[in-house]
Amino acid sequence: MHATIFHNPACSNSRNALALLRERGIEPKIVDYLQTPPSVERLAGLVAAMGITPRELLRSKEPQYAELGLDDAKWTDAQLIAQMARHPVLMNRPIVETPHGTRLCRPGELVLDLLGPGQA
């Protein structure tokens, strides 16, 4: 099965999701999103595919969140997506895409919901 993980190796949820995929014989395409941030268009597509708002993808505990004033309701969805594309540390992780869906896998075990019958 084809899978993509937007991964941060320093994140335990991200490492766990990756390990669960590999335990099931799935070697995903790994995108180190801090090194290779998704474009605004790609990020908007991921948000839409997950069925969440851009605000739900933000990491509010990051110092840049406060520095940029992202807790202010004035920010539009498009502006929030642009900020995450510009500052990928603001993105929550891991995001996993499979043919069965796209999901923010926090905790990492949520990746199992994206596997087909017999793989979870």
Per residue in 13-60, pLDDT (tens digit) is 999 999 999 999 999 999 999 999 999 999 999 999 999 999 999 999
Q: Vertex 15, ends 3 and 114: CA angle to 5°?
A: 35
Per residue in 67-111, pLDDT (tens digit) is 999 999 999 999 999 999 999 999 999 999 999 999 999 999 999
Sign of CA dihedral 88, 17, 55, 116: positive
* DSSP code for 91: B
State the catalytic residues.
Answer: 11
pTM for the structure as a whole? 0.93
Name all domains of the chain by residue range, CATH numbers in brackets.
4-114 (3.40.30.10)
**Spatial distance between the Cα atoms of 109 and 14, rounded to a whole number of angstroms:** 10
